[in-house]
Chains A and B, each alone.
Chain A
């Protein structure tokens, strides 16, 4: 087995994604955790590029960068004012978490192992962005639109929950 540049990059990116995800869960500061999450997501984007899906990588960056930044705002708004508050990671949940992680890993690894023959036989076709767009808006149109409606509903729900006010409190003065 020879080591190619692609493999070295894959190993580095994979390792960084792994380390990032560990730190995301273990960081005691919320902002650090969110930044590590950003590292993990960014590395996943690079993995997408290596797998021949550059469009997915671009969208991953585009969406999750916004997501990460919004999370940071929440992190500051919801933690203590000085921004130094330590997050408590519940100790009893650790074993259960590890168990679930292992189970998911086993399922994924098992699936790949069982399907290894098929993976080796068929070369992955590099389908372009055009193909992706066309199939989303023709073959998978119903699923695509249903997902959009679902996300819209979730968004409206989030706004309604976020705007719920204490009935005793006077409502905010209207902006003029």
Chain B
């Protein structure tokens, strides 16, 4: 591994964590404004240091382990959730040269690691020895297994069109042709929307957050967690959404491709924009019922995804798609 690879890995980790911390503040501001509130205002200018205050509070709190919990798994699960969520970021190219892991099988690996992130969530729910946590964990797994299928299918559309599973090549292809949501629009746009839906479901965000539906399950998987343990699970959710936005921007919105200026700026801009849209959705929509969620995945998203893959394959054989 060269020095440059090390530096770019560190840089990407720093970018992701900074944007995540900023994202925590941004979500609360956005939600506040949407509900005619101000959001955080006290800590720092326009409440900007609120995430730091939150972190300090969480670190000070006492970690409580339930008496009948599975101690090892209970301790291990929360840091692992954050670790696995961050791991995906290493595969996302933030610039033509700024790709810490520029490998040929980027797309399957990203989806695999995204799915991997659910194992610690499951561990947390099971180890808590609490029926709400366990129910949340069961729901999370069932949901992730179902939505993994449309996620793979829609991610295949850019792969087929660009003829590569390397994320950097996919972006380079979009740089040479068009961003995928722009052209071919009848493939790119639906695939993009389906991908976003499936990704939201994988990250357990509203409208797909039944694993932690607070009206039914207290707080789902995180019910028994306190202090920094809870902090890790909370952080993982944000990192997951953020990295998911980055992956979606890479696959469909042209990634680091922009008309002027440094490429990494465009990548961060697109990611943040998508991140904001996801939080806009979160504060606008209500959650689906468990059976509606499954019906949506299997009756609509999977057939639509299959149709899109088929269409993409046909499109590459037409004179316009070559």
Contact = CB atoms under 8 A, between A and B. Distances in A.
B13 interface: no
Contacts of B126: 31, 72, 76, 83
A54 B138 contact: no
B145 A55 contact: no
A70 to B, nearest CB: 6
Interface size class of B (residues with CB under 8 A): 20 to 34
B128 to A, nearest CB: 10
B145 A69 contact: yes
Contact of B116 (A65, A76, A129, A175): A65
Contacts of B113: 61
Contacts of B291: 175
Given A66-B145, A83-B129, A54 B116 contact: no
Contact of A58 (B70, B73, B105, B123): B105
A13 interface: no
B134 interface: yes
Interface string B107-141: 01101110110110011001001000010001001
A157 interface: no
B115 A129 contact: no
A55 B115 contact: no
Interface in B83-112: 103-105, 108-109, 111-112
A73 B141 contact: yes
Contacts of A73: 138, 141-142
Contact of A76 (B104, B112, B119, B134): B134
A38 B119 contact: yes
A9 to B, nearest CB: 12
B148 interface: yes
Contacts of B70: 29, 31
Interface in B239-267: none
Interface string A43-73: 0000000000011011101100110111011
B144 interface: yes
Interface in B129-172: 129, 134, 138, 141-142, 144-145, 148, 152, 165
Could you tell me the dominant secondary structure of chain B's interface residues?
Answer: helix
B119 A65 contact: yes
Highest count of chain A CB atoms <10 Å: which of B105, B126, B144: B105
A66 B113 CA distance: 11
B104 A66 contact: no
A76 B138 contact: yes
Nearest to A38: B119
A61 B112 contact: yes
Nearest to B163: A130
B122 A72 contact: yes
Interface in A71-118: 72-73, 76, 83-84
A153 B236 CA distance: 39
A57 B112 CA distance: 10
B298 to A, nearest CB: 13
Most chain A Cβ neighbours within 10 Å, of B108, B111, B291 = B108
B101 to A, nearest CB: 10
12 contacts: A32-B73, A57-B109, A61-B113, A62-B111, A65-B115, A65-B116, A66-B145, A68-B119, A69-B122, A72-B122, A73-B138, A73-B141
Interface of B: 68, 70, 73, 103-105, 108-109, 111-113, 115-116, 118-119, 122-123, 126, 129, 134, 138, 141-142, 144-145, 148, 152, 165, 291
